[in-house]
Structure 1
Amino acid sequence: MRTILVVDDSRTTLNSIGERLTAMGYLTALVDNGGEALDLITARGFDLVLLDMVMPGMSGIQVLAELRSRTETSDLPVIVITARDEAEAAVEALAAGADDHLAKPFDFDVLVARIERTLARGRRIADLKRSNASLDARIAARAMELGEARAELADVRADRQRLAAEMARLRAA
């Protein structure tokens, strides 16, 4: 089951999105401020965050900046939702690291399509991270094997030089 954190200072918006996503099979958590969202993400983790851009206190852009600055959440998929429908809002959200942007009011089917696309992209990134970690482990193991082989080769060369020196000494005698 995919988990989605919905962050919006409007209880009406939170409840509406939460109910519809839950009905579609998503596990949703709802919070109405940025600080609580960061705490919850740190404590629990989520597959996706729907983040209101304009909130009192800590804005969605500030929350997003904090998420992108942390190694453990730098790739967490985030869709910014805002009542600001001008192009500058979309540019600001995307420049801050949002994976997508959606202006209110929006068609719920469009939101779901964007959620599915963003989650699929998040799964591909997670798969790539796992593959990279596996490759890194294989590279480290091979590097250790190579180091051991070099040490053995150095020992064999030293033995060969000792034998050659011993043979040369015996021929001279």
Structure 2
Amino acid sequence: MAKKILTVDDSASIRQMVGFTLKSAGYELGEAVDGNSGLRLAQSARFDLVLTDQNMPGMDGLTMIRALRKTAGYASTPILMLTTESSDQMKAQGRAAGATGWLVKPFDPQKLLDVVKRLVG
């Protein structure tokens, strides 16, 4: 059975690129445009991995991660940040919020696949 991945990003082009990359590798995908809709989608369906941006309108990525970690079934689900933010301080905040890993945009599709495969197979 294909692993399900939730991608949360306000950029349609990023969602499209991530979607193409992951679907081509056989993963199922759910998409959300911001943290609020991402959280609602994660609460209504079970995902094996969550991939989120940081800077989004409404609820940002770190806030969504904190909320997800309190949601049933997501305490140990891998959550990757895919964002333009690359400072050590922001990465530390991500780890403290519960992020499993961090990828910087623009992303290398093969690196994304390698990380996803390592986390969920």
| TM-score interval (norm. to shorter) | over 0.9
- Specify the alignment match of 1:162 in structure 2: none
State the one-letter code of the partner of 2:63.
Answer: Q
Q: Distance in 2 between matches of 1:47 and 1:38?
A: 14
- Specify the alignment match of 2:96 in structure 1: 95
TM-score normalised to the size of structure 1? 0.66
TM-score normalised to the size of structure 2? 0.93
- Specify the alignment match of 1:12 in structure 2: 13
Query: Which has the larger share of strand?
Result: 2
Is contact 2:9-2:15 (8 Å) kept? yes
Q: Distance in 1 between matches of 2:72 and 2:28?
A: 24
Determine helix, strand or coil for the equivalent of 2:52: strand
Gaps of 5+ in 1: 121-173
Determine helix, strand or coil for the equivalent of 1:67: helix
1:71 shift after superposition: 3.7
Gaps of 5+ in 2: none
- Specify the alignment match of 1:37 in structure 2: 38
1:62 shift after superposition: 0.5
Determine helix, strand or coil for the equivalent of 2:117: helix
Q: How does 1:97-136 map to 2 (within 5 A)?
A: 97-120=98-121
Q: Distance in 2 between matches of 1:23 and 1:58?
A: 29
- Specify the alignment match of 2:63 in structure 1: 62
Is 1:3 aligned to residue 4 of structure 2?
Answer: yes
Is 1:84 aligned to residue 85 of structure 2?
Answer: yes
Structure 1 stretches of at least 4 aligned residues deviating more than 2 Å after TM superposition? none
| 1:70/1:30 CA distance change after superposition, 3 Å | closer
Aligned residues: 120
Q: Decide which structure has the larger Cα Rg and report it.
A: 1
Is 1:27 aligned to residue 33 of structure 2?
Answer: no
1:56 shift after superposition: 1.1
Is contact 1:99-1:118 (8 Å) kept? no
Q: Which has the higher contact order (CA 8 A, sep 6+)?
A: 2
State the one-letter code of the partner of 2:54.
Answer: M
Query: Per-residue CA shift, 1:78-137, capped at 9, x if unaligned?
Result: 0011101222221111111111111111211111111111215xxxxxxxxxxxxxxxxx
Q: Distance in 1 between matches of 2:90 and 2:83?
A: 8
State the one-letter code of the partner of 2:14.
Answer: T
State the one-letter code of the partner of 2:91.
Answer: A
Q: RMSD in angstroms over aligned alpha carbons?
A: 1.2
Determine helix, strand or coil for the equivalent of 2:90: helix
